[in-house]
């Protein structure tokens, strides 16, 4: 018999400190997927979660992949055929904590510290994604505590390689396609609009990420002996990347804007109503002038327009002092954020054509594809979005807004492509959570309301209310 909502919420509040303590336990495990020395910690973080799920009656396993393992768990729910089947996705791995000297407290010694919104949890992974995983895990725990079961069928998939691009996730999804079937995927790895305004993310930009390796002379040359005659790959790389955008910030790859739709007037109005303060957004990071495409609204630039950003550059001499070298090679990491409608393969073909049109005879450019996922638009009117909107509105006392995200969550595309699942993106992060940076934090208030929101959603879905 399902628990009453009031009892559920009271239980969550009464046991919040235990929830926080469990999160701290998990945060103490430095599950840095990018650093091979932390592979045993990744496994420990997975085992920890498996134990928590088993305690809630899940059939839970740590499953190997070619990299860090996945946690997979199943719960049949109340045993009724009419309850929905949710797939909860998350990740237990975290970004490297470096540079360590910029942390106020050690990254893997979670601390509860005061902030303008009350206590906050500071640790690597506090919000991305361990703390957010805990929002639904503790909601499931509350239901289990009061009703002895959970109100829906649930499958759990928590991977350990999200921060390194999920290289083994797609094969894992392919291999376990039947086992992982569900009605919808629920993911808490996104943000709220602000501390008081819940949000459901319905648009995600995709990502094409490449490394360009440019080669010129057969060996490094002395710039005195060869300068003026020999091709310099560094000069050439600068020219190629410098020409990526025109004076209006539009990207020059042939065919790049094919399929990019203009915002609907409705969507434009909805985003305008959010009152996004671009000056404050940029001001917080020391900037004053938007640098993107001209003639676009602030949120449109971030959520609904594609980009081209150089993410890394290297070549030649980079040590102290002077070395007069014309190097044989130059390298760049380059990425394009894509919006729904753009085809990643077409963008890659456009990049190839752009480079080929500009490469002199003696230069070779190799493009290594490190990621290629399309932008995604989640159906904003589904039963899942309606139920989640209602749960959030009840919890926060104001409507949830439908927002976009400038970033990518490649798993959303994988879940759709491989499992045929739409994702419900209901997250509780804030803009200032310092994701991927020193002093990452998660507001305790967000943890609490996240748990309560998920508990409400579970109750509603279990009651067949949605």
Q: How far is the CB of 451 from a second copy (least distance, A)?
A: 25
Per DSSP, 361 falls in state T
Q: How far is the CB of 388 from a second copy (least distance, A)?
A: 22
Q: How far is the CB of 164 from a second copy (least distance, A)?
A: 6
164 binds a second copy (CB under 8 A): yes
289 binds a second copy (CB under 8 A): yes
What is the phi/psi pair of residue 48, to 5°?
-60, -45
Contact flags string 311-330 toward a second copy, x per CB under 8 A: xxxxxxxx--xxxxxxx--x
Closer residue to a second copy, CB minimum distance, 243 or 366 = 243
Asked whether 252 and 343 are in contact (CB, 8 A), the reply is no
Q: Which of 66, 219, 262, 280 binds a second copy (CB under 8 A)?
A: 219
Q: Which of 81, 218, 273, 280 binds a second copy (CB under 8 A)?
A: 218
Residues 55-74, interacting with a second copy (CB under 8 A):
none
Residues 384-443, interacting with a second copy (CB under 8 A):
405-408, 431, 435-437
Asked whether 182 and 85 are in contact (CB, 8 A), the reply is yes
The first and second tokens of residue 263, run together, are 């915002």
Region near a second copy per CB under 8 A, out of 82-90, 221-229, 349-357, 440-448: 221-229
**203: which residues sit within 8 A by CB, 6+ positions away?**
303, 304, 339, 340, 375, 376, 377, 378, 403, 404, 405
Asked whether 187 and 416 are in contact (CB, 8 A), the reply is no
295 binds a second copy (CB under 8 A): no
231 binds a second copy (CB under 8 A): yes
Q: How far is the CB of 218 from a second copy (least distance, A)?
A: 3
- DSSP H or E run through 240: helix 233-242
DSSP-assigned letters across all residues of 183-229: SEEEE--SB-SBTTB-EEEEEE-EEEEEEEEEE-SSS-EEHHHHTTT
**Interatomic CA distance for residues 272 and 177, integer angstroms:** 40
Q: Give residue 241's Cα distance to chain centre.
A: 26
237 binds a second copy (CB under 8 A): yes
Closer residue to a second copy, CB minimum distance, 106 or 438 = 438
Residues 72-101, interacting with a second copy (CB under 8 A):
none
Q: Which of 349, 367, 370, 445 binds a second copy (CB under 8 A)?
A: 370
Residue whose structure tokens are 């995600």: 204
Q: How far is the CB of 83 from a second copy (least distance, A)?
A: 35
Contact flags string 165-184 toward a second copy, x per CB under 8 A: x-------------------
Asked whether 457 and 152 are in contact (CB, 8 A), the reply is no
């Amino acid at each position: 018999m399902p628990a009453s909502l009031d009892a559920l919420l009271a239980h969550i509040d009464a046991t919040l400190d235990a929830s926080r303590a469990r999160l701290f336990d998990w945060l103490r495990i430095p599950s840095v997927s990018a650093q091979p020395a932390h592979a045993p910690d990744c496994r420990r973080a997975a085992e920890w979660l498996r134990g928590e799920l088993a305690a809630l009656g899940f059939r839970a396993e740590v499953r190997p992949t070619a990299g860090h393992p996945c946690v997979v768990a199943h719960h049949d729910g109340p045993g009724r055929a009419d309850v929905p089947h949710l797939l909860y996705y998350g990740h237990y791995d975290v970004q490297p904590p470096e540079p360590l000297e910029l942390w106020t407290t050690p990254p893997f010694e979670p601390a509860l510290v005061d902030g303008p919104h009350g206590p906050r949890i500071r640790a690597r992974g506090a919000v991305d994604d361990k703390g957010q995983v805990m929002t639904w895990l503790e909601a499931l725990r509350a239901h289990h505590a009061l009703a002895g079961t959970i109100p829906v069928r649930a499958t759990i998939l928590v991977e350990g390689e999200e921060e390194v691009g999920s290289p083994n996730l797609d094969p894992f999804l392919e291999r376990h396609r039947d086992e992982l079937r569900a009605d919808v995927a629920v993911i808490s790895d996104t943000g709220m609009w602000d501390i008081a305004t819940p949000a459901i993310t319905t648009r995600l930009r995709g990502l094409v990420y490449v490394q360009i390796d440019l080669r010129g002379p057969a060996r490094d040359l002395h710039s005195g002996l060869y300068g003026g005659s020999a091709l310099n790959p560094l000069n050439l790389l600068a020219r190629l990347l410098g020409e990526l955008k025109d004076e209006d910030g539009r990207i020059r790859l042939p065919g790049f804007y094919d399929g990019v739709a203009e915002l609907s007037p409705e969507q434009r109005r909805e985003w305008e109503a959010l009152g996004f303060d671009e000056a404050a957004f940029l001001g917080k990071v020391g900037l004053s002038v938007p640098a993107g495409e001209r003639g676009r609204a602030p949120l449109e630039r971030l959520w609904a327009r594609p980009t081209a950003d150089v993410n890394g550059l290297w070549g030649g001499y980079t040590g102290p002092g002077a070395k007069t070298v014309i190097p044989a090679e130059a390298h760049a990491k380059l990425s394009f954020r894509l919006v729904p409608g753009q085809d990643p393969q077409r963008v890659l073909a456009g990049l190839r054509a752009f480079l080929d049109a500009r490469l002199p005879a003696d230069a070779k450019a190799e493009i290594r594809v490190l990621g290629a996922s399309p932008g995604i638009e989640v159906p904003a009117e589904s039963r899942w979005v309606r139920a989640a909107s209602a749960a959030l509105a009840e919890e926060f006392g104001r409507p949830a807004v439908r927002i976009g995200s400038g970033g990518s969550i490649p798993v959303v595309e994988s879940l759709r492509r491989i499992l045929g699942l739409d994702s419900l993106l209901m997250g509780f992060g804030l803009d200032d959570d310092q994701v991927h940076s020193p002093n990452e934090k998660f507001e305790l208030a967000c943890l609490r309301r996240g748990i309560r929101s998920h508990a409400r959603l579970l109750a509603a879905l279990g009651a067949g209310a949605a």
